């Protein structure tokens, strides 16, 4: 596990770091001089070895014919042997899927939780309203169950507003223009790398009232959702290149955030006031808090 976590952290740092050759391809030779190229190769080799271990473990279990529940890796390996599929799955395809499941969304999801709890603590009235909703849903905080976000409309609004103010990736994954276009008088040549600043769009006063404020109520009765159908709200991107982990991330978040609000009351240590909580950002693979969020959790005791 330690080896896995170190590999994920190294890949996160490398993927979010600045590389001059991305802007000036003719300077790609600098990677060899700075050691970046060898660092990338070591990270790739380490991660590939981890994936090989995972796949080998499942191949051995499958070969032994043990009666066990089929996991996603087993399904992929079985499909790889299916000759009737139109597209043949390669081992590299399987490794890519495993990488997505393990890595994609882990940092962004944990970053979201940090920001959601930050904003809830900074806005106690929102926290109380959300806790009231989830505790009603769970019979006063006494039951444990799967949380269904469609039955928790205010929690859904909180999730949407958190993604609006604190998108994990304010600049979407780069696109490449397929043809030359004229944009507000600027000629953007075909082949240009294009980055869309959804962070700025989702704080644009042209589309949002009081855009710098955390107001989940703005989404009440609104048809705006995560699916990228609204230009002003695309935290996961849009179209064919929308984030493939969107549904996975949202499902995870609702299953984590709802019980945290249901079964605990939250505050700051050492008598600090909510308005003293900082919101400084640190940019990496995701835009996270610059400083760790330290809070005090008190188990909620429902009135008998």
Considering the chain, tell me which residue range(s) the CATH 1.10.630.10 domain(s) occupy: 106-262
Q: What is the CA radius of gyration of the chain?
A: 23
How many whole angstroms separate alpha carbon 154 and alpha carbon 8? 34
pLDDT in tens, 270-300: 888 888 898 888 876 678 888 889 999 999 9
pLDDT in tens, 250-270: 888 888 999 999 999 999 998
262 a known binding residue?
A: no
User: How deeply is 256 buried, as exposed, middle or buried, from its count of CB atoms within 10 A (0-12, 13-18, 19+)?
Assistant: middle
How many whole angstroms separate alpha carbon 219 and alpha carbon 226? 12
pLDDT in tens, 144-171: 567 777 889 999 999 999 999 999 888 8
Task: Give the torsion sign (CA, 191, 36, 106, 159).
Answer: negative
- What number does CATH give the domain 106-262? 1.10.630.10
Predicted pLDDT of residue 68: 64
Q: Is 115's pLDDT higher than 80?
A: yes
Instruction: Express as a percent the part of the chain with pLDDT over 90.
Output: 37
The β-bridge partners of 230 are 233
């Amino acid at each position: 596990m330690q080896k896995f976590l170190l590999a994920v952290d190294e890949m996160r740092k490398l993927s979010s770091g600045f590389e001059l050759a991305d802007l000036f391809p003719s300077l790609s030779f600098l990677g060899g001089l700075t050691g970046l190229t060898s660092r990338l190769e070591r990270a790739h080799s380490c991660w590939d070895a981890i994936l090989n271990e995972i796949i080998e473990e499942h191949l051995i279990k499958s070969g032994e014919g043990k009666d066990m529940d089929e996991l996603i890796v087993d399904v992929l390996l079985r499909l790889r042997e299916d000759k009737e599929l139109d597209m043949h799955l390669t081992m590299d395809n399987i490794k890519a899927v495993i990488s997505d499941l393990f890595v994609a969304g882990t940092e962004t999801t944990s970053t979201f939780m940090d920001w959601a709890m930050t904003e809830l603590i900074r806005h106690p009235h929102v926290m109380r309203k959300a806790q009231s909703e989830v505790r009603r849903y769970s019979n006063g905080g006494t039951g444990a169950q799967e949380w269904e976000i469609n039955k928790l409309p205010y929690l859904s609004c909180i999730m949407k507003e958190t993604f609006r103010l604190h998108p994990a990736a304010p600049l979407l994954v780069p696109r490449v223009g397929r043809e030359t276009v004229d944009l507000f008088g600027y000629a953007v040549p075909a082949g240009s790398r294009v980055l869309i600043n959804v962070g700025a769009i989702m704080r644009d006063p042209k589309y949002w009232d009081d855009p710098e404020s955390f107001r989940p109520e703005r989404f009440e009765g609104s048809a705006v959702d995560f699916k990228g159908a609204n230009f002003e709200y695309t935290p996961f991107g849009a179209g064919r290149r929308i984030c493939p982990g969107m549904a996975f991330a949202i499902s995870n978040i609702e299953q984590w955030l709802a019980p945290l609000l249901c079964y605990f009351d939250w505050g700051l240590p050492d008598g600090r006031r909510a308005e003293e909580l900082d919101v400084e950002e640190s940019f990496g693979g995701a835009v996270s808090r610059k400083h760790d969020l330290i809070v005090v959790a008190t188990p909620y005791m429902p009135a008998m």
